[in-house]
Structure 1
Amino acid sequence: MAGHILTVAQQKGGSGKTTLAAHIAVALSKVAEGPVAVLDVDPQGSLGTWFEAREELLGEDQTGLAFRTASGWGSRREAKSLARSHEFVVIDTPPKTDVEAKPAIDAADLVIVPIQPTPVDLWATGQTIQLAEREDTEAVLLFNRVPPRAALTQEMTEAIAKSGFEIFEARLGNRTAFASSMGTGRTVMEIAPSGKASKEVAAFISELVQRFQPDNF
């Protein structure tokens, strides 16, 4: 098996990387034909804390995921190792540090860059895109924590189009369900499967997997 490595990266803090990584991993575990792993490269260890809560809630053998941690250049080696036995490997990276993020981006087949629809977030995103370009890795933006105000989101959509950055059509809203689900070691798909947040995640995952296996999903 030669699995796909997905790295969630964003140089700006507060973009929702860890929450996104967890939701990607769980959602993929429901639709992928093979197993899914998560790799926490962020020294804060927030993804690991979420996974421990998930183990306590569901049981160590019932999380639906494999979990590993790594740092620095070890993240590239660990990601490649996991990809040999998992269909997808989802990596959560720390903000504001090329040292930790660079190997994880280098190992990736795709970098997913969460961005809130504000000018400040777009300015910061350029650094992450440039890092991915230096590693010759494809990077695609994802609107995350999108507020109800459509005007600003539309402005940022146009600004991104002018910048030449690629962005997913799907968007994730600024919904409390994301944070509340993470606190229990779960995701919105598990606490409110018919809710708006779950539908947004499903739309994104459908778009994501089409990039890899268009005939199987």
Structure 2
Amino acid sequence: MSGRILTVAQQKGGSGKTTLTAHIAVGLARQTGNPVAILDVDPQGSLGTWFEAREQMLGEDETGLVFRTASGWGARREARSLARDHAYVIIDTPPKTDVDAKPAIDAADLVVVPIQPTPVDLWATSQTIQLAAREDTPAILVLNRVPPRAALTVEMAQAMGESGYEALASRLGNRTAYAASMGSGRTVLETDASGKAAAEVSAMIAELVGKL
């Protein structure tokens, strides 16, 4: 049986896709103990830069992950190839381009859509959800970079519910710990395992595993 493929996608830039991809990958590897691969199809290469920093920090053989890159239609082939040897394959996609994201979404078992709690992000998300629907791939929203202003969060959660989009109950806060951990090639699960950010990620991973 092949592994499960999760594609992190969002047409709007600045949603935190790469940070979410890295944290999902490390979280799945740590919580399930299964082999995990990450696939970067974003030409910006931010995930590759993070992985290189991870190799330097932990050692090339101690990253706990397998990393590959692909572009365009090669993403679907590479993802399915990785899924033969890994329990999970996590794909980071570029924003604002249906052409590059489409093969990665087509290959996925689930599309994970990060969304910041603003009306603009919710409007932009509809494009990604529609793209997933066209590929007959289920999609789920993850509230990301949630500020401590509860009123806005509740308002956006209600708007998301009215949109009919499925969303995880767990949310990731707007915490500097996420960016700080990424800068050293790690995640909050490794830099502050007992912190609030790590608890958020662990809850998200448990929910995702349940969905899969």
Q: Same fold (TM over 0.5)?
A: yes
TM-score category, normalised to shorter length: over 0.9
User: CA RMSD, aligned part only?
Assistant: 0.6
Deviation at 1:30, TM superposition (A): 0.7
5+ residue gaps, structure 2: none
Q: In the alignment, is the contact (CA less than 8 A) between 1:29 and 1:35 conserved in 2?
A: yes
Partner of 1:215: none
2:100 is the alignment partner of 1:100:
yes
Q: Tell me which residue corresponds to 2:191.
A: 191
Q: Show the counterpart of 2:23.
A: 23
Aligned to 2:169, the other structure's residue is in SS state: strand
TM-score, with normalisation over the residues of structure 1? 0.97
The one-letter code matched in structure 2 to 1:137 is T
Other-structure match for 2:170: 170
Displacement of 1:211 after TM fit? 1.6
Superposed, which structure 2 residues align to 1:8-19 within 5 Å? 8-19=8-19
- Give how far 1:81 is off: 0.2
5+ residue gaps, structure 1, are 213-217
- 1:40-81 CA-to-partner distances (Å, cap 9, x unmatched) read 000000000000000011111000000000000000000000
Contact preservation (8 Å) 2:28, 2:34: no
Residue identity (%)? 74
- Give every structure 1 segment of 4 or more consecutive aligned residues whose post-TM-superposition deviation is greater than 6 Å: none
Structure richer in strand, relative to its length:
1
Aligned to 1:140: 140
Tell me the CA shift for residue 177 of structure 1. Answer: 0.3
Tell me, in whole angstroms, the C-alpha distance in 2 between the residues paired with 1:164 and 1:209: 22
Deviation track 1:96-140 (CA, whole Å, cap 9, x = no partner) reads 000110000000000000000100000000000000000000000
Contact conserved, 1:32 with 1:87, CA < 8 A, in 2? no
**What is the match of residue 120 of structure 2?**
120
CA distance in 2, matches of 1:120, 1:211: 27
Would you say how many aligned residue pairs link Structure 1 and Structure 2?
A: 212
TM-score (norm 2): 0.99
Measure, in 2, the Cα distance between the counterparts of 1:34 and 1:153. Answer: 34
Task: Supply the distance in 1 between the matched residues of 2:29 and 2:159 (Cα, whole angstroms).
Answer: 34
